[in-house]
Structure formats: C-alpha cells, structure tokens
Amino acid sequence: MCCQAYSVVPIQPGDEVPDSMVRHDPATGQLGMTHLGGACIAFDRETRNCTIYAIRPLVCREVQRDDCVCRTARETMMKQSSNK
Ligand code: SF4
C-alpha cells in the first residue's frame, strides 16, 4: 500500500534505483521515485509487487509490516477508496 499511498518516495545517497525511475522535485530540490497514475513507477499493478525489489530505496527497506508508516499508508488508502 505504501507504494500507492505515498506520492513522495525519497531517494537517498547509496540508493541504486534506475535513473529512468527517478525524478527531481524542483520545489524541494530532492530526488524521488516517479509516481504515475497514483503509484510508484516501480509498482506492478497486476502482481502488486515491486519490480525493483532487490534494489528498492532505503526508505522502502525500512518500512516494516504494521509499523506507523505502514498503518498511515493503509489509512490513507482506506480514505481514498471511501471517497470514490
Ligand atoms: S520502489 Fe518498490 S517498494 Fe518502493 S515504493 Fe516503489 S514499488 Fe514500492
């Protein structure tokens, strides 16, 4: 869910994701994963898996199932689906 809930997935020094999947935010000066159609560009909607799992950004590696980031993502997605 965090692959869809968070429009900003920051890239940090040491992350080795493909340049083609990264965008520069001129407002903040930061690099982040490109978001397309409501999900991270690396998110496969059919399999619901990360297509770059082995080299996913550090921020994605740090999220643990049911931690506060995970729960916030779940709540965001539930609100979005109830607003449709
Ligand atoms: S890089 Fe992979 S794990 Fe991280 S947000 Fe994108 S799809 Fe999800």
Mean pLDDT of 13-41: 93
Test site for ligand 1: of 6, 9, 20, most ligand atoms within 8 A of the Cβ: 9
pLDDT band at 82 (very low <50, low <70, confident <90, very high): confident
Of ligand 1's listed atoms, the one at least distance from the Cα of 9 is: 5
Nearest CA to ligand 1 atom 2: 50
Q: Which pLDDT score is estimated for 5? A: 83
Query: pLDDT at position 76, please?
Result: 80
Q: pTM surpassing 0.85? A: no
Q: Is the CB of 3 under 6 A from ligand 1?
A: yes
Residue 43: what are its φ and ψ, rounded to 5°?
-85, 125
Strand partners, 28: none
Decide whether any atom of ligand 1 lies within 6 Å of the 11 Cβ.
no
Residue 21 has pLDDT above 80, yes or no: yes
Question: Which residues are CB-contacts of 36 (< 8 A; sequence separation ≥ 6)?
Answer: none
